[in-house]
Structure 1
Amino acid sequence: MKLLPVTCAIAALSFGSHAFAWDFVLLDSDKPASNQRITSEQLGIKVDKPFSISMRTLHGGRQEGVSLIDIDNGTMKLTVVPTRGMNVLSAQVGSARMGWDSPVKEVVNPAFIELNGRGGLGWLEGFNELVTRCGYEWVGHPGMDNGELLTLHGRAANIPASKVTVHIDETPPYAIHVRGELKEQAFKKVDFSVQTELVTEPGAARFVLNDTLTNNGDYPKEYQALYHSNFSTPFLEEGARFAAPVKQVSPFNDKAKADLGEWQTYRAPTPDYDETVYNVVPYGDAKGDTLTVLHNKAASLGVAVGFNVQQLPVFSLWKNTDTRGQGYVTGLEPGTSFSYNRRYQRPLNLVPTIGPKEQRQFSISYSLLADKPAVDKALQQVKSIQDGRATEVRQTPLVDLSKE
């Protein structure tokens, strides 16, 4: 394998920094795919935590032809799915897995999914990832809007990447960048591209997603984005808690309204529970940065999801504490919008517009909190961002869904 040092713009866990890097092409729509393996040893990098990046192709069933990228940074093992919107399938540190057990066991090729099926719920037939990109033309529940059926949570999660590259910084800490390009296009409708990036560092129990949405068209367009980030055991259990600096919280619907008093705590797997969802408007710090935390009952293990409220101003908390077989899972979901159908969100000013050739950037961090001091530190950060500011608890949903 020929190694080509290049100079390029590298986001070292954030946008806009510059560094020298090794550059590799894993997938390109103009070239045949080739399964590769890149290691720190091959590159002559001496680190305490040797790392590797490799690509493989799945065969059989509805996952036929799906490409996976496995990243082992020496501490955390991550799997990214270029065939499915560059979604993050799972992340694991030791025995602690960030992800969940969906009834969907295969990594389903979008070619076998009909998004319009099941009344617009066909998206669920492939839903099993740790992080699923939702958008970008719309997000939310299926339904009609301006005479068009909008399917559940948009198309992004089922768009195969057109090109995938790996960049590795030539200088410590040798950050690993996996980038993909998604194209959401329809004649007369939309001409979006999304440059996705996952960044992690050797030895870190953390990764960051940096995405750039571009409107390539000649007219302004509505857009929405939501990052459906899904966790189960060992973080989710009876007595587990969610924490965030909250400006406002409201129930998504009447079912959630009935459980509003316990919206931050979780049940054990509960038959027939189905789901409840809460709409959260988080506070940010002086720069707009905020942090959300899920931790187990003992507060000895958790995960933290960080983002910027200027980019992603609202947050959905999805609590699906049904049986383990049905899918015992919670979703921590920063977004431009809640999960209502788009037609309900315009009056809430949650359907932003992007002008011709304009760009929007989204950055979300995911960190494993491996022990009680790490959980306590994250909770203290949440408290610091809250800074004594009041939380408004709305007793009724923002949208009246009873007439649907």
Structure 2
Amino acid sequence: MKKYYTMALSTIIGLSAMSIHAKTYVLTDIQNGIEVGNWKTTGQNYTVEQQVLHGGKQEGSKIITITSPTGLTITLSPTRGMGLLHAEGKGIHLGWKSPVTEVVNPAYIQLDSRNGLGWLEGFNEMLVRCGYEWTGHPTTIDGQIYSLHGKAQNTPASYVAVEIDEKPPFAIHIKGLIKESTFKKADLQTMTQLSYVPGETSFKLHDVLTNHADYAHDYQIIYHSNFSQPILEEGAKFLAPVSEVSPFNDYAKKGLKDWTTYLGPTKGFDEMVFNLKPLADSKGNTIAALVNKDNNKGVAIAFNTQQLPVLTLWKNTDTLKQGYVTGIEPGTSYAYPVNIEKAQKRVKQIEPGQSVSFDLTYSLLSDRSQVQSVENQIQKIQGTTAVKQVETPIAKE
């Protein structure tokens, strides 16, 4: 059970101590004028490589790929907020096919275009960090545009390093610093970290958000995690222990009865979003999963509700070309505009000098036994609690 759970605090401390005994490769460091281009290192059962991309809107974008022949191949982009493009293992792809096929350099994106929807012009990742200064649907408040899902995902990392532990299990850590620093507004900085042990079929995220300003500031985060074929298909299922589900808007009301199951690619299907209240164990640990119709493929996300108290389910079963995808989204907020989230008291605040952490574990499920194990964990947390279906959206944009 523990292999799918978010690492406990003692484990996090242990990993931090282990980093003292790690070999570090700094690829970007704006403070010290370090900017490495194409780069590669190879060890036993792994390769870590950085590539600089050229041509089109991806000119100057960078990707880092961890390859473990017996485990996973994981690709992320330091240029795009350390977002995860995709992962693959056991012949199963984690991610989706967006109409956006390039790793778009943020220099080519205007977040306030399309009435605040410019973020969509680069959206194709398996994992997007929506935040941290704000998130949710776009809105304008007192003349200021709050664009879709904040700025972190379109902020190139100011510091990037690869750390490889010199002691078993020889974990690989990819670190990246995302700075949301604006004169008179905010100075939020997030040190992201992806940790992976070669040969395994799961990886962990440990992100630390720090307020470097002298004033308290609001923050929000949604870990927008997106999956498609071969797991998503007609008859695929969403699994999670929850106490309540409600439609995001009136359109989603039509899908409330079948909110846990999926259609195949369906032309004319608009996105349906559901707000969930996750249940957790006594320590706040919980898990959500997507599994295919035959229960032999899936993906699970473990997180802690003390850090990420709400869960959003995004169902976008449109055509394959348009973007056939579903999103499992642990967060501090739902996807309503920031003014609605603030009015409903889901916007959190971070004090000067304070840090808050977010820990998630992503696991590939490649056979029936692994799927069954996750289903058992979910059922244990759910227990006898009935899922309350609320037909009226909790807010209206």
Aligned to 1:15, what secondary structure does the other structure show? helix
User: Which residues in structure 2 correspond to 1:131-150 (within 5 Å)?
Assistant: 131-150=127-146
Residues in 2 aligned to 1:146 and 1:166: alpha-carbon distance in whole angstroms: 42
User: Which residues in structure 2 correspond to 1:228-377 (within 5 Å)?
Assistant: 228-377=224-373
- Is contact 1:269–1:323 with CA below 8 Å preserved after alignment? yes
- Partner of residue 167, structure 2: 171
Cα deviation for residue 273 of structure 1 reads 0.2
Residues in 1 aligned to 2:63 and 2:376: alpha-carbon distance in whole angstroms: 37
Aligned to 1:310, what secondary structure does the other structure show? coil
Which 4+ runs in 1 deviate beyond 6 A? 10-13
Letter in 2 for 1:63: Q
- Is contact 1:278–1:318 with CA below 8 Å preserved after alignment? yes
- By relative contact order (CA 8 Å, sep 6+), the higher-ranking structure is 2
Total equivalences in the alignment: 384
Residues in 1 aligned to 2:388 and 2:334: alpha-carbon distance in whole angstroms: 17
- Is contact 1:144–1:150 with CA below 8 Å preserved after alignment? yes
User: Which residues in structure 2 correspond to 1:221-232 (within 5 Å)?
Assistant: 221-232=217-228
Among candidates 49, 58, 63, match of residue 63 of structure 1: 58
CA pair 397-132 structure 1, distance change in 2 beyond 3 A: same
- Is contact 1:14–1:210 with CA below 8 Å preserved after alignment? no
Listed one character per residue, the Cα deviations across residues 190-236 of structure 1 (whole Å, up to 9, x for unaligned) are 00100000011010111111100000001111000011100000110
Letter in 1 for 2:12: F
Residues in 2 aligned to 1:214 and 1:379: alpha-carbon distance in whole angstroms: 35
- Is contact 2:285–2:304 with CA below 8 Å preserved after alignment? yes
CA pair 89-307 structure 1, distance change in 2 beyond 3 A: same
- Partner of residue 13, structure 2: 16
TM-score, with normalisation over the residues of structure 2? 0.94
Cα deviation for residue 124 of structure 1 reads 0.2
Cα deviation for residue 13 of structure 1 reads 11
Residues in 1 aligned to 2:331 and 2:127: alpha-carbon distance in whole angstroms: 13
Cα deviation for residue 348 of structure 1 reads 1.9
- Is contact 2:27–2:35 with CA below 8 Å preserved after alignment? no
Letter in 2 for 1:137: E
Letter in 1 for 2:29: D
Question: What 5-or-longer segments of structure 1 have no aligned partner?
Answer: 1-9, 42-49
- Is contact 1:208–1:363 with CA below 8 Å preserved after alignment? yes
More displaced 10-residue stretch of structure 1: 382-391 or 246-255:
382-391
Listed one character per residue, the Cα deviations across residues 247-306 of structure 1 (whole Å, up to 9, x for unaligned) are 111100001012100000000100010210000110111110100010001111100011
Residues in 2 aligned to 1:278 and 1:290: alpha-carbon distance in whole angstroms: 18
Residues in 1 aligned to 2:314 and 2:193: alpha-carbon distance in whole angstroms: 25
Among candidates 34, 37, 44, match of residue 34 of structure 1: 37
More displaced 10-residue stretch of structure 1: 21-30 or 207-216:
21-30
Tell me, yes or no, if structure 1 residue 218 matches structure 2 residue 214.
Answer: yes
Residues in 2 aligned to 1:60 and 1:229: alpha-carbon distance in whole angstroms: 27
CA RMSD of aligned residues (A): 1.5
Residues in 1 aligned to 2:35 and 2:140: alpha-carbon distance in whole angstroms: 39
- Is contact 2:90–2:366 with CA below 8 Å preserved after alignment? no
Letter in 1 for 2:24: D
- Is contact 2:72–2:201 with CA below 8 Å preserved after alignment? yes
Residues in 2 aligned to 1:387 and 1:177: alpha-carbon distance in whole angstroms: 36
Letter in 2 for 1:15: I
User: Which residues in structure 2 correspond to 1:103-118 (within 5 Å)?
Assistant: 103-118=99-114
- Partner of residue 26, structure 2: 25
Aligned to 1:379, what secondary structure does the other structure show? helix
Residues in 2 aligned to 1:398 and 1:147: alpha-carbon distance in whole angstroms: 26
Aligned to 2:79, what secondary structure does the other structure show? helix
Tell me, yes or no, if structure 1 residue 154 matches structure 2 residue 150.
Answer: yes
Cα deviation for residue 311 of structure 1 reads 0.2
Residues in 2 aligned to 1:242 and 1:65: alpha-carbon distance in whole angstroms: 37
Listed one character per residue, the Cα deviations across residues 41-88 of structure 1 (whole Å, up to 9, x for unaligned) are 5xxxxxxxx111011100000000001101013310011100000000
More displaced 10-residue stretch of structure 1: 141-150 or 161-170:
141-150
Residues in 1 aligned to 2:57 and 2:208: alpha-carbon distance in whole angstroms: 30
Residues in 1 aligned to 2:343 and 2:127: alpha-carbon distance in whole angstroms: 28
- Partner of residue 4, structure 2: none
TM-score, with normalisation over the residues of structure 1? 0.93
Letter in 1 for 2:116: G
CA pair 139-276 structure 1, distance change in 2 beyond 3 A: same
CA pair 279-102 structure 1, distance change in 2 beyond 3 A: same
Cα deviation for residue 364 of structure 1 reads 1.1
